[in-house]
């Protein structure tokens, strides 16, 4: 078995006054994956990463489930699924993990299994209306959305445009608005209450298109296309942006990383992955701030796992203004949660006007400031 790795990459942006932003990326090794393979279902649950199903070469579909704990940096086997699943999707909701669709020796799958980590058991749930594999599933607003993919019974890997919504309370699936055009082997992420579908393949050709879905209106909108057309890429939202990483272009696997800003509807190039990675995966965890775990890759069935830690943002030159009174002494205090306050610098004397103080907000951990009067 060839060596398997996980790496971590982080970059920081330093914004000082009007100075130009600069980026620094760094990598760290993480624990090896437990198996070689590809076409997994991947999701985060209870601040752990789960890898389910997949393909191990030949006619070898997997029923395995593996769990990664970032605290101990270890992988552990969990109970096998009830069925083998090649190219399923996975999603987490309400403390449970869902393995959805895929394909195995019996054919294309519409079936769904629910995993309870408390009991390490799987249970069958309601099947989708459409069998599909090489698709994406995401969680938003207490529902799971199964998007696109393919069902070989409708043609030679002809892609699907259909979208289904799963309600765990009623254990039912319902049809939602189709994507503007069908696609498979794409990436998807949730950001700011919207679902973004990025890249993929149509008729064996990688595509750059990006679509945005709004659940409230059940509508799709076309957004700025990704600069590099790709399929089987890793897509993840982090710190208000979306990273599109690796995948396969027309000439094969790529190391390309591009970042999408939904506010400006623009893309920007970022430093490449260390190596080209086709069929890689990306997950971020709230308990590991500024870190995205990127793992997997399909190059002649070699699996290499990466961890990427992007977007450690340090913002300065943000002004905090407050009024002071003459001959009073003040202390600037900060709190991330408005509960526990700490002093941030030395005291200063009030001047009877207002005082402007530079402060910083690090990453997504917001610092709230107040002024404490020391002399009455």
End-to-end Cα spacing for the chain: 72
Report whether 240 contacts 194 (CB < 8 A). no
Q: What is the pLDDT of residue 321?
A: 60
β partners of residue 147? 136, 163
pLDDT band, residue 61 (cuts 50/70/90): confident
Tokens at 339, concatenated: 């509960």
Q: What is the pLDDT of residue 363?
A: 40
DSSP code at position 272: P
Assigned fold of 6-313: Neuraminidase (2.120.10)
Q: What is the pLDDT of residue 356?
A: 59
Q: What is the pLDDT of residue 156?
A: 58
Q: How far is it, in rounded angstroms, from Cα 62 to Cα 76? A: 16
For residue 97, give the nearest of 63, 75, 70, 121 by alpha carbon: 121
What percent of the chain stands above pLDDT 90? 53
Q: What is the pLDDT of residue 149?
A: 97
Element (H, E) at 269: strand 266-270
Q: What is the dihedral of CA 345, 351, 352, 358, to 10 degrees?
A: -40
Give the pLDDT mean for 113-139.
98
Q: How far is it, in rounded angstroms, from Cα 283 to Cα 236? A: 6
* pLDDT at residue 299 is higher than 50: no
pLDDT band, residue 298 (cuts 50/70/90): confident
* pLDDT at residue 21 is higher than 60: no
Three-state DSSP string of 343-374: ECCCCEECCCCEEEEEEEEECCECCEEEEEEC
pLDDT band, residue 46 (cuts 50/70/90): very high
What is the model's pTM?
Answer: 0.77
* pLDDT at residue 223 is higher than 90: yes
pLDDT per position as a tens digit, 310-335? 333 332 324 556 666 777 777 777 76
pLDDT per position as a tens digit, 79-92? 999 999 999 999 99
Q: What is the pLDDT of residue 369?
A: 63
β partners of residue 117? none
pLDDT per position as a tens digit, 176-209? 999 999 999 999 999 999 999 999 999 889 999 9
Q: Output the CA torsion sign for 49, 268, 203, 166.
A: positive
**DSSP sequence for 167-212:** ETTTTEEEEEPPPSS-BBS-EEEEETTEEEEE--EETTEEB--EEE
Give the pLDDT mean for 10-17.
26
β partners of residue 249? 252
Tokens at 161, concatenated: 């445009």
pLDDT band, residue 368 (cuts 50/70/90): low
Q: How far is it, in rounded angstroms, from Cα 235 to Cα 222? A: 17
* pLDDT at residue 357 is higher than 50: yes
Most confident of 71-80, 110-119, 153-162: 110-119
DSSP code at position 80: P
Q: Which residue has the higher pLDDT, 129 or 369?
A: 129
Q: How far is it, in rounded angstroms, from Cα 266 to Cα 259? A: 8
pLDDT band, residue 7 (cuts 50/70/90): very low
pLDDT per position as a tens digit, 241-274? 899 999 999 878 899 999 999 989 999 998 888 8
DSSP code at position 155: S
Q: How far is it, in rounded angstroms, from Cα 249 to Cα 126? A: 36
Q: What is the pLDDT of residue 275?
A: 82
Domain boundaries, the chain: 6-313, 324-373
Mean of per-residue pLDDT scores for the chain: 81
* pLDDT at residue 8 is higher than 70: no
* pLDDT at residue 293 is higher than 80: yes
The torsion region of residue 363 among left (phi > 0), alpha (psi -120 to 50) and beta comes to left
């Amino acid at each position: 078995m060839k060596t398997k790795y996980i790496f971590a990459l982080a970059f920081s942006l330093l914004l000082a006054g009007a100075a130009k932003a600069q980026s620094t990326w760094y990598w760290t090794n993480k624990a090896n994956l437990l198996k070689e393979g590809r076409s997994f279902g991947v999701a985060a649950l209870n601040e752990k990463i789960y890898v389910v199903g997949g393909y191990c070469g030949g006619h070898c579909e997997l029923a395995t489930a593996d769990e990664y704990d970032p605290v101990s940096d270890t992988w552990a086997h969990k109970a096998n699924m009830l069925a083998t699943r090649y190219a399923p999707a996975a999603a987490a909701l309400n403390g449970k993990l869902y393995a959805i669709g895929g394909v195995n020796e019996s054919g294309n799958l519409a079936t769904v299994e629910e995993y309870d980590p408390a009991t390490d058991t799987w249970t069958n749930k309601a099947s989708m209306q459409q069998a599909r594999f090489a698709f994406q599933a995401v969680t938003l607003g207490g529902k799971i959305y199964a998007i696109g993919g393919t069902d070989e019974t409708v043609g030679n890997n002809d892609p699907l445009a259909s979208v289904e919504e799963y309600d765990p309370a009623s254990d039912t699936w319902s049809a939602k608005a189709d994507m503007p055009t069908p696609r498979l082997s794409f990436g998807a992420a949730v950001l700011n209450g919207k679902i973004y579908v990025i890249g993929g393949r149509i008729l064996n050709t990688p595509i750059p298109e990006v679509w945005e879905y709004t659940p409230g209106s059940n509508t799709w909108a076309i957004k700025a296309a990704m600069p590099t057309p790709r399929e089987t890429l890793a897509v993840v939202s982090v710190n208000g942006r979306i990273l599109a990483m690796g995948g396969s272009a027309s000439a094969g696997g790529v190391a390309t990383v591009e970042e999408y800003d939904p506010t400006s509807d623009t893309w920007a190039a970022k430093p490449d992955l260390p190596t080209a990675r086709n069929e890689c995966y990306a997950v971020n965890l709230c308990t590991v701030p500024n870190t995205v775990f990127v793992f997997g890759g399909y190059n002649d069935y070699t699996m290499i796992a990466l961890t990427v830690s992007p977007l450690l943002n340090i913002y300065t030159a943000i002004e905090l203004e407050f009024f002071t009174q003459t001959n009073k002494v003040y202390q600037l205090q900060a709190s991330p949660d408005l509960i526990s306050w700490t002093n941030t610098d030395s005291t200063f004397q009030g001047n009877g006007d207002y005082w402007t103080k530079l402060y910083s907000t690090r990453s997504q951990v917001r610092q709230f400031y107040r002024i404490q009067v020391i002399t009455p």
